[in-house]
């Protein structure tokens, strides 16, 4: 039956079985009433009883099928979605419906699909082009390799010429026997109704695969609203996704822009546009795209996609980690089998400094991912490194390495472990495997150059990275990198260089949270309080909800401004409450404030905390600074023996350092005084300007 004003029909497969032979009908002759004989009455009674009994049997069988029949799939099964088979001859259906069907099938917690990234990695293992269409035969092979139970093969065909009707068929097929598990068909009377019809077919297929009615009622957003009714917008969106997932982020942007031009209400396209813009450093454009997606999310997304969009908005745009955790906890509760929910929760915990809570989420994601994920491996490995469990992190990374090659970030993590363990052979091997141009690798090498006091290499690495970013027209990344370099120069005491780099960052357009912090802090170290405060104010205004900026990095900047302005007690007061983050920047700068305020015991404790936690991010640069700080704090405490030992450690680390580094020259002067007058307290006054 056609549903009024919706324009499509549900077509269920009818099981006819064996039909009875046709009844021969002769000429109609009126019959004369005859009183029934006893034999006839008994026969009629038998027929009535037989009919009633048969009806009861049929009802019982139907009831058993409804309430006790084993569902085709269970909540633990992962299935594969094959590529849409287009039999219409219209190219608009070639690359437009796959993503929409994926949204509908994964709308509820019942079904889990093998992700596109996992499909692509499996196809690479099979020595197939990951961009090939997933046919039924290829899908069966993928399922067997991944231990999946079933695949869904979607198809669209056209009937008629003048008035075309579109028939959508969804076949769920057993991957091992190739038998049909379930089929759902639906018709649409025109193109504008195809997406809505596909959504109805997807819901009915979920029901036939075993999803219960309450779940279907709760998770059943109209697909044309959850995505878009525009086939052209879907096609542009799908093309953008293909480019984005192959690493061509910049090339994907015009397709996402085309999708939102075709349908200004297409929430998922705004979300993906923001991701692409964010990935190439277009943070201002990304903020606008994410804001639009966030505005549309409650009426234009499925519940799971709503969770993802909201979590990303709080994480990448506002930085409000408390709200992000609240959202992702609910996501995790409603979709308990979602690997992505677990991974997002782990990231949120880690960003808040709750690494001990983050690790189990990453480990759960690893254990339950249908296909091994480099992202989950990297996240868990980094959490283990931060927690000081280097052996466990090394084991996890090496297990991945046995399956294939490292990603640039995994290689960087493994290199850090080898450096901490002084494993020269592993360091050399890993160095040969990298292109040397990935940002995580370059930043690690900059930190290691800092640790050696090799200023020339530090500057060369930064200049080369900035040059590559300029050529790629990643100007916001250029500004952030210049600011990053400026702060490191300021820690060395090269304040004029830091000022010049911050001026260059400002000319390019320094708008990112990290870039603003780095330059505000660098200028604060240089005692340029007015420009430092101006940048800190800008950071505060742009990111008023950002948890890490508001609770950690802005206090560091304001504390440094107070410290160089001659107010060490105020500097301490700003940083003493900041305890939740395992962060070398916070501990090192608080130690300097304690030392200037005369609380050497607390200064020594914080410097030692930095030295004792080599797994913390950026430790390589701050370990040597903390060695020097430890020597200075011991001297102020009149503990000359420990001060001399700390100076000796510092000079050993910087034995090949650039002799012109200001804090090195200052340290030599301090140590000379300490050596010349062993009974007197050294009077280190900090770095010279």
C-alpha dihedral (126, 129, 131, 132), degrees to nearest 10? -80
Distance between CA 471 and CA 437 in Å, rounded?
13
The string of DSSP codes covering 196-235 is: HHHHHHHHHHHHHTT--HHHHHHS---HHHHS-S-HHHHH
The tens digit of pLDDT for each residue in 628-637 reads 999 999 999 9
- Give yes or no for residue 21 having a pLDDT over 60: no
- Give yes or no for residue 162 having a pLDDT over 80: no
The CA–CA distances, whole Å, from 326 to 44, 243, 310, 354 equal: 70, 32, 11, 14
- Give the residue from 411, 626, 661, 456 showing the smallest Cα distance to 419: 411
Lowest mean pLDDT among 65-74, 109-118, 135-144, 460-469: 65-74
C-alpha dihedral (346, 347, 353, 355), degrees to nearest 10? 40
**Between 517 and 216, whose confidence is greater?**
517
Helix (H, G, I), strand (E, B) or coil at 414: helix
The tens digit of pLDDT for each residue in 205-258 reads 999 988 888 887 888 888 877 788 899 999 999 999 989 888 889 999 999 999
Q: Summarize the confidence of residues 271-285 as an average pLDDT.
A: 88
pLDDT of residue 317: 86
Q: What is the largest CA-CA distance in the chain?
A: 140
pLDDT of residue 38: 53
For residues 271 and 289, the answer to whether their CB atoms sit within 8 Å is yes
**Between 379 and 579, whose confidence is greater?**
379
- Give yes or no for residue 18 having a pLDDT over 70: no
Confidence of residue 74 (pLDDT cuts 50, 70, 90): confident
Report the half-sphere exposure of 561 (CA within 13 A, side-chain side): 22
Q: Summarize the confidence of residues 144-165 as an average pLDDT.
A: 90
- Give yes or no for residue 520 having a pLDDT over 80: yes
Distance between CA 241 and CA 276 in Å, rounded?
10
Report the half-sphere exposure of 235 (CA within 13 A, side-chain side): 10
For residues 346 and 363, the answer to whether their CB atoms sit within 8 Å is no
pLDDT of residue 30: 38
For residues 682 and 643, the answer to whether their CB atoms sit within 8 Å is yes
- Give yes or no for residue 2 having a pLDDT over 50: no
Q: Which two tokens stand for residue 492?
A: 């060395």
Q: Which two tokens stand for residue 544?
A: 């008023």
The tens digit of pLDDT for each residue in 465-502 reads 999 999 988 898 999 999 999 999 999 999 999 999 99
Query: For residue 153, what are the contacts with CB-CB under 8 A and spacing of at least 6?
Result: 82, 85, 136, 139, 170, 171, 173
Q: Summarize the confidence of residues 449-466 as an average pLDDT.
A: 97
pLDDT of residue 183: 93
Q: Summarize the confidence of residues 52-57 as an average pLDDT.
A: 51
Confidence of residue 50 (pLDDT cuts 50, 70, 90): low
The structural domains of the chain, ordered by start, are: 78-224 (3.40.50.10070), 227-319 (1.25.40.10), 462-676 (1.25.40.10)
Q: Summarize the confidence of residues 592-612 as an average pLDDT.
A: 98
Q: Summarize the confidence of residues 520-534 as an average pLDDT.
A: 98
Q: How many CB atoms lie within 10 A of CB 76?
A: 8
Q: In sequence order, what are the beta bridge partners of 152? A: 81, 172
- For strands 78-81 and 150-159, give the pairing: parallel
For residues 563 and 597, the answer to whether their CB atoms sit within 8 Å is no
């Amino acid at each position: 039956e056609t549903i009024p004003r919706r324009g499509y029909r549900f077509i269920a497969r009818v099981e006819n079985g064996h039909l009875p032979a046709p009844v021969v009908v002769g000429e109609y002759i009126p019959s004369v009433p005859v009183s029934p004989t006893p034999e006839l009455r008994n026969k009629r009674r038998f027929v009535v009883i037989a009919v009633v009994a048969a009806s009861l049997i049929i009802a019982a069988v139907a009831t058993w099928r409804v309430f006790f029949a084993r569902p085709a799939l269970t909540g633990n099964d992962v299935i594969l979605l094959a590529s849409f088979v287009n039999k219409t001859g219209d190219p608009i259906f070639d690359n437009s419906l796959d993503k929409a069907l994926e949204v509908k099938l994964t709308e509820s917690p019942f079904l889990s699909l093998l992700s596109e990234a996992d499909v692509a990695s499996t196809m690479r293992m099979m020595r197939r082009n990951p961009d090939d269409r997933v046919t039924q035969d290829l899908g069966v092979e993928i399922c067997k390799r991944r231990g999946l139970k079933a695949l869904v093969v979607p198809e669209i065909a056209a009937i008629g010429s003048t008035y075309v009707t579109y028939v959508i068929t969804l076949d769920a097929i057993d991957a091992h026997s190739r038998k049909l598990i379930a089929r759902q068909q639906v018709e649409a009377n025109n193109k504008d109704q195809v997406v809505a019809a596909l959504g109805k077919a997807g819901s009915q297929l979920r029901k036939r695969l075993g999803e219960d009615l309450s779940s279907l009622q709760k998770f059943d957003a109209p697909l044309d609203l959850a995505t878009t009714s525009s086939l052209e917008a879907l096609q542009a969106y799908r093309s953008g996704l293909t480019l984005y997932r192959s690493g061509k982020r910049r090339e994907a942007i015009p397709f996402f822009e085309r999708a939102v031009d075709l349908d200004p209400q297409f929430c998922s396209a705004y979300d993906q546009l923001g991701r692409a813009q964010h990935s190439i450093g277009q943070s201002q454009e990304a903020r606008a795209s994410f804001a639009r997606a966030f505005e549309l999310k409650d009426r234009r997304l499925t519940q799971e996609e709503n969770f993802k969009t909201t979590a990303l908005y709080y994480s990448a745009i506002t930085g409000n980690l408390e709200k992000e955790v609240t959202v992702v906890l609910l996501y995790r509760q409603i979709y308990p089998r979602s690997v992505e929910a677990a991974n997002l929760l782990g990231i949120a915990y880690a960003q808040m400094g709750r690494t001990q809570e983050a690790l189990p989420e990453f480990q759960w994601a690893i254990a339950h991912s249908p296909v091994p994920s480099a992202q989950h491996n990297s996240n868990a490995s980094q959490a283990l490194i931060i927690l000081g469990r280097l052996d466990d992190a090394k084991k996890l990374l090496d297990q991945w390495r046995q399956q294939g090659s490292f990603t640039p970030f995994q290689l960087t993590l493994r290199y850090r472990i080898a450096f901490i363990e002084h494993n020269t052979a592993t360091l050399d091997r890993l160095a040969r495997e990298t292109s040397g141009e990935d940002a995580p690798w370059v930043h690690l090498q900059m930190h290691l150059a800092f640790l050696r006091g090799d200023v020339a290499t530090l500057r060369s690495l930064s200049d080369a990275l900035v040059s590559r970013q300029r050529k790629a027209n990643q100007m916001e990344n250029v500004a952030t990198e210049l600011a990053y370099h400026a702060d490191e120069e300021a820690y060395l005491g090269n304040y004029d260089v830091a000022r010049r780099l911050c001026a260059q960052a400002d000319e390019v357009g320094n708008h990112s949270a990290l870039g603003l912090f780095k330059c505000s802090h660098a200028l604060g170290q240089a005692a340029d309080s007015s420009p430092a405060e101006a940048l800190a104010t800008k950071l505060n205004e742009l990111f008023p909800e950002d948890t890490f900026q508001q609770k950690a990095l802005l206090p560091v900047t304001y504390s440094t401004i107070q410290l160089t302005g001659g107010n060490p007690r105020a500097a301490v007061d700003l940083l003493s409450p900041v305890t939740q983050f395992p962060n070398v920047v916070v501990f090192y700068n608080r130690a300097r404030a304690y030392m200037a305020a005369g609380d050497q015991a607390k200064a020594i404790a914080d410097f030692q905390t930095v030295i004792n936690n080599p797994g913390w991010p950026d430790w390589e640069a701050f370990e040597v600074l903390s060695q020097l700080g430890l020597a200075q704090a011991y001297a102020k405490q009149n503990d000359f023996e420990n001060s001399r030992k700390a100076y000796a450690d510092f000079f050993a680390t910087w034995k090949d350092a650039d002799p012109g580094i200001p804090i090195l020259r200052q340290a030599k002067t301090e140590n000379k005084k300490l050596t010349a007058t062993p009974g007197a307290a050294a009077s280190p006054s900090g770095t010279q300007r």
